[in-house]
Amino acid sequence: MMRRLKQRQRQQRSIFALLSNPSKEGLSIKEVDFIKKVGLVEAKQIIKDAPDNAIYYWEIPRCKFGVYSSFERNQGRAINLIELVKLLKALDLVDLLGGIDVLNALIQMSNSPFALSHITREGVIFSIEEIHFATNVFDSIYGEENV
């Protein structure tokens, strides 16, 4: 059990190491729009079904399926799967830590002189920067009015 927990911690650290940019400017617009269009469940299914060497995905117009590729060949319309995984992991972090209201409260507390530098949940350490990124992703996909 300890081995499995340590393995999960390593996975979480490697995944959330990707979430290093806490600003909204670092969000990939195509991937955000894609999640808005197809929904969270479908986006997770696309990632789950992706072959190991796939980096890009694009939908075929007027069809109900898409194509995976290891290189972008569709004039910039392809969805970068690595960026999509970043966004989905950020949304999972929002759920894991208790929702957007809890994360916004943590961010407000981080502005105090006794600020938190990280939070631990289920044995995994998350930095305030990761929490900022997760709230930015949530706000860009679901809108700030859904808070």
* Residue 16: per-residue pLDDT: 46
* Residue 5: per-residue pLDDT: 55
Q: What one-character-per-residue DSSP string does the chain give?
A: -HHHHHHHHHHHHHHHHT----SGGGS-HHHHHHHHHH-HHHHHHHHHH--TT--EEEEPTTSS-EEEESS--STT-SEEHHHHHHHHHHHHHHHHTT-HHHHHHHHHHTTSTT--SEEEETTEEEEHHHHHHHHHHHHHHH-GGG-
What does residue 78 show for φ and ψ, rounded to 5 degrees? -75, 150
* Residue 90: per-residue pLDDT: 92
* Residue 98: per-residue pLDDT: 87
The reply to whether the predicted model has a pTM over 0.85 is no
* Residue 41: per-residue pLDDT: 92
- Residues contacting 37, CB < 8 A, separation 6+: none
10-residue stretch averages of pLDDT, the chain, 147 residues long = 56 48 61 90 91 84 74 73 92 90 82 66 77 90 68
CA atoms of 55 and 35, how far apart (whole Å) = 17
